[in-house]
Structure 1
């Protein structure tokens, strides 16, 4: 395996920088838990949208997480797109082409914000994109620690790269390309960053994610690395496995409307799309189902756009998938029902077990099962239809059954157990044995 990696990196021009594969992933045995800003930035509701992102609001989100969710394991405060752009969406980089925070949004800078977040016992994440920013290319920024400039690492002929086609493709046969990514991650590390989401990842951007991963290794600071798109193509999934901690397997969960999301736009898509990714993931490579619209359905602030029944189905599905659990809403207004759903210790345990579910039955009345490391089996049923339904789980013998969400033992059942009258878009989660 090491020899094959050496050959691969030599092709990329990275052999002189060879380190063991995926060291950046080593500390992350469990899916991360936290919050992301994008759902609020994507909303058309008054007071939200891209102008919402600023230092004060991120501090409020961190404080809310620390007081309401941290005890259950939620620790990552992830700042999404726009942190290095002004309100007109003009992006900033420093003289060396390294992304720089917008002074209007983050007047105290990222290091001060990271210090505040870390002081609460939390971690800070930032957003990046694949490819070479055209602004960096245009100013031909000098690359730290080299005699190269940005235009030296652009692939020729100039070729658009990433999901938007908005950046230039990078020529990884030039060792200065890796040095450029090293300079970005070294800066992030010096600021205290703990997470990087690299967006716009296509099948042509595997080398970009490899470079980000190596840069994290070189920085010697553990950082979770997510390869993101809407979704990342399934064909790229296995190739990204040595480098990313997680990969986005579905479209954006947001509806880009006045709420965070709706069932049809696009929560329910996950049940149809996750099955095609089965078999791709392993103990340190996670399916990212995007953020969870479980935050606020009452009072002030943006509403989730899905019911409490649907919110529980989201929590159950994400947990059965061992997807990262991160909230996508205004957690400053987190309601009591959301807190109850998000912090249920038995459901969180299902997620953090790190094992993956298998779809037993598809269609409108789905059954998924998974085996935890302790050997116990879990089963989840989902009613994706429009009327209540009874959904039966095969127990494979006489077994005790526990309702994980209700944290209640249901008794011993022989041969099968039936979830009675599961409401539309509802779910049940049980432990067998």
Structure 2
């Protein structure tokens, strides 16, 4: 562990034992973690839910999304906090290379074949209403800019005398699958009003979450526009940014949104004949260790580092061994990441469901505290964080291909070595004692996740 990390851990420990927990990162003069300024009433804890991208991918329909929502509730996952049902890309019409089709005000048009209108309601609103009827929340997807279709048609901007050509630039914006999006000149009158009209439409449909995808460093104005527009709707809407955002702008993302993707897709896109399965690989999961360490200073209640979908639920189709699945959930939870399932919830593997329902591990995620990396060596990683009540949570990760003992110490965490501690394994639920040496035999690509508590006698 670096000297700086040691000081951060010790600072948290001292605060925890005095009842004043400081979420330390060393990023300010006082050592206290900065709180994101985007205070819209949501994102106080990492989001739990499901997304259509990993499994459903290019073919979402109202029937499919509603079936996943029903499975989320019937499986018991909703009772554990998994309440967001997020529809990703391919919900709108994409007639060609000129971008998504648009309505009379330049906003994307719902694909009626996939999401038909119901009783006069837009198809997306109808699905959102169904999801809400199950006691769940509904999310949607959009990308920065304005469609070339709107520019060609020079559509009016709702509630203003301006039109699409008044605000559009010739700069290409990133829309991964449809294309045809161009930039918006936010210095032009009507630009913010265009985003506001879109945000108002989404709020009217009952959206609780919006993923703004394709965000790069040059899209800060788009993020600001969406951030302000969503806030002004009066509806609490979680704003998530994607993907592989620049850590150099981390403070900006934290001030404007509730979450931000710290890396590229966790999906491997390696299935035969375009199959969604396997969903991911060990290499994709293992690539997150360094990102979790680097981004730790920037997560806090209100906005969290997002390490992408949790690919647990479909057994061997996950693309991970059972030990690797525990590693993914443990690392994501130590990092206080959103836990958004990418799997097919209508065919949940019982063993995977048991992992996802482990409330001891979910509590590690839901504390909203980002773990520090204590040590990194060939074949091993150790992450830890202090809890408000004075406990520590430590993950001993074996990243190698053979079983081995992974070791850290109370002193490495900043804890007094002369004390006695109890170690509760959050996966096996077994409790052992320790006088300062914290170790476990860990299978390859596996983890032992301990909650460390000072024994009464210590």
Taking structure 1 as the reference length, the TM-score comes to 0.87
Q: Which runs of 5+ in 1 are unaligned?
A: 1-19, 43-49
The 8 Å contact of residues 29 and 283 in structure 1, kept in 2 or not, is answered as yes
C-alpha displacement of 1:86: 5.5
Distance across 2 between alignment mates of 1:235 and 1:132: 26
3-state DSSP of counterpart to 1:102 = coil
The match for 1:306 among 320, 332, 354 is 320
C-alpha displacement of 1:402: 0.7
Q: Which residue of 2 aligns with 1:318?
A: 332
The match for 1:76 among 70, 81, 84 is 84
Q: Which runs of 5+ in 2 are unaligned?
A: 1-35, 118-122, 272-276, 454-458
Distance across 1 between alignment mates of 2:293 and 2:299: 12
Alignment of 1:211-290 (within 5 A): 211-229=225-243, 231-258=244-271, 259-264=277-282, 266-290=284-308
The 8 Å contact of residues 402 and 443 in structure 2, kept in 1 or not, is answered as yes
Alignment of 1:130-149 (within 5 A): 130-149=144-163
Q: Which residue of 1 aligns with 2:138?
A: 124
The 8 Å contact of residues 287 and 323 in structure 1, kept in 2 or not, is answered as yes
C-alpha displacement of 1:332: 0.8
3-state DSSP of counterpart to 1:279 = helix
- Structure with larger RCO (C-alpha < 8 A, sep 6+): 2
Distance across 1 between alignment mates of 2:146 and 2:47: 28
Q: Does residue 22 in structure 1 map to residue 34 in structure 2?
A: no
Can you list the C-alpha shifts for 1:212-268, whole angstroms capped at 9, x where unaligned?
Answer: 111111100001100101x11222222111111000001101111321433345222
Change in 2 beyond 3 A, CA 1:163/1:143:
closer
Can you list the C-alpha shifts for 1:364-403, whole angstroms capped at 9, x where unaligned?
Answer: 2000001122232100011111111100121232211111
Distance across 1 between alignment mates of 2:47 and 2:91: 21
Runs of 4+ off more than 4 Å: 86-90, 163-166
Cα RMSD (Å): 1.9
Change in 2 beyond 3 A, CA 1:88/1:143:
closer
Taking structure 2 as the reference length, the TM-score comes to 0.83
C-alpha displacement of 1:92: 3.0
Q: Does residue 106 in structure 1 map to residue 115 in structure 2?
A: yes
Q: Which residue of 2 aligns with 1:45?
A: none
Q: Does residue 414 in structure 1 map to residue 435 in structure 2?
A: yes
Q: Which residue of 2 aligns with 1:94?
A: 103
Number of aligned residue pairs = 396
Q: Does residue 66 in structure 1 map to residue 73 in structure 2?
A: yes
3-state DSSP of counterpart to 2:215 = coil
Distance across 1 between alignment mates of 2:255 and 2:102: 29
C-alpha displacement of 1:283: 2.2
